[in-house]
Amino acid sequence: MHTKKIAAAMTAAVLCLSAMTAPEPIIGPESASAASISDIPQEYRTACDWVWTNRIEPEGSCKGWNTVYDQIIAGNGTVQYILIWQSYETLTLAQRQRLPQMLEDALNKWNDCLVGYDDWPVEHVNVKVIGYAVLDKSVLQDLQPDEVVFTETAVPWTRDWLIESGMGNSSIPELQPAEPTALSRYAHWQDKNWSYNGSYDNRFDMYLHGIHGMIDMGGVGYQYGQILSDHSIEGLLNGTTSEHILLHEMGHGFGYPDYYGGEGASDGFPPGGFPGGQGSIMMAGSCSYINTFDKYFAQYTWSKLKDEPGRFDLAGFSPITTEPSVTETTAPPTTTTTTTTTAQPQIAEAAFTDTVAEMQLTGNGGVIRFAEHGSFSFSGDAYYGGDDTKNLSYYEPGDRIRIRFTYDAQSSGIIQITELELEQNARAVRGDVDKNGKLEINDLVLLQRWILSQPNTVLADWQAGDLDENGRLTAADLTLMKRELMNI
């Protein structure tokens, strides 16, 4: 069997702030379709009612008319960002060109929950990046004439907080780029006469803030935007970092809460847990994608907000119908002078969850056949840049995986994998929390470190460690694992 080198999905971040220390089981999402709030299945609606009454209303996270719901509609389907880059790491032109599409892809995973539901008017959200706030302009390599750069600085409001909480270290720069508050919708949404330097088109709705020295598995989010480490953002731009932290932080922008407390607690989750048993992307350690409950709650929240007098001008909504932008090509620039013409690949995109039915490996790649989605050829290392978490050759028949990739529609050859996560291991081993295919002493050490909340502890498969099958990792699981090791 091929060793499965699957990075642990272990994150969640924050309405305010949290460390990403919880392992996340990855379960395929179910369909969540409804036309109005009355169509939401009763068990989901009951849970949504509880969250709305006990979390959203007391916390006031949707009270201000600056949620992402408001931003999307006020911008006629367009959300505008700036990048705040509190780092001296360089950003290439190609990375900056990928930024709008990366944000657009993530934001539309939330918007897709709302399409066709209760008069939601937006089929697809467009994202524009209107500028960059930097400490040093030289970090923007190959700067283009039409790129807007802001170079004023300010004392960071996050630095001490991140260091004291263990979410960052002393390498965080002592200054941060100053956002152009005159253009901030978050700062001025209440002032209907605010000019945004002459035009609403000059505004930014949110920022993406990258901080050097912040831990890579942490995040902050609210209606002002999302804060991640600079390395995490670079990974998102390069396709080597999972986007679930970003999706979590965007969720806060819509007004959704963290679920830090226990069942029924004032900072907790609905009595009886989340319907469907998948948790929530907003609950640290329970899910790494927008699942069925999250989709229904996004719909439920819209129904609660849309009838507030004066809040949304749906009658005057005029969506921008431009297609999603593609700002780069994955093909390297040609240097040949030959006049011979070659057929260009017809690039298509696929995204699905399916079971591997057959795997045929060659010296450098192979062919994978999915049970429901047919066969695709792949290279061993050409498309994933050395990231073993996106190497299909590590999988085998019987594995169930969630994947998103581009491919040549003519040859069915995979060009680039952007998401790849194991949902069900064909050869899951009881107690194998590091997912190396066997139970051994390292699994015991990892489980003990996890239970003791030691920093930087990663469980590749926390469910394998739930030996008493109660949905939690406790000292009882540690005891059971010791017994199993003694019997090996």
pLDDT of amino acid 166: 86
pLDDT of amino acid 12: 31
pLDDT of amino acid 284: 80
Q: Are 227 and 220 in contact (CB under 8 A)?
A: yes
d(CA 12, CA 19): 7
pTM, 2 dp: 0.63
Q: How many CB atoms lie within 10 A of CB 475?
A: 11
Is the CATH number of domain 347-423 2.40.50.140?
yes
Q: Are 419 and 403 in contact (CB under 8 A)?
A: yes
H-helix or E-strand spanning residue 297: helix 292-306
Structure tokens at 313: 């001008």
Cα atoms in the Cβ-side hemisphere of radius 13 Å centred on 238? 14
Mean pLDDT per 10-residue segment, the chain (488 residues): 31 37 37 79 96 96 96 96 97 96 96 95 97 97 96 90 90 95 94 92 97 92 96 92 92 96 93 91 88 96 94 85 42 35 63 86 77 80 47 81 82 81 76 83 85 78 82 83 77
d(CA 382, CA 391): 10
d(CA 48, CA 469): 27
- Give burial (CB, 10 Å; 0-12/13-18/19+) of 20: buried
Beta-carbon contacts of residue 84 (< 8 Å; ≥ 6 apart): 133, 176, 177, 179, 207, 208, 209, 210
Query: What is the three-class DSSP state of 46?
Result: helix
pLDDT of amino acid 340: 35
pLDDT of amino acid 53: 97
Q: Are 193 and 70 in contact (CB under 8 A)?
A: no
pLDDT of amino acid 321: 55
pLDDT of amino acid 483: 81
Query: What is the three-class DSSP state of 362?
Result: strand
d(CA 119, CA 245): 29
> Domain boundaries in the chain?
18-306, 347-423, 441-486
d(CA 180, CA 34): 40
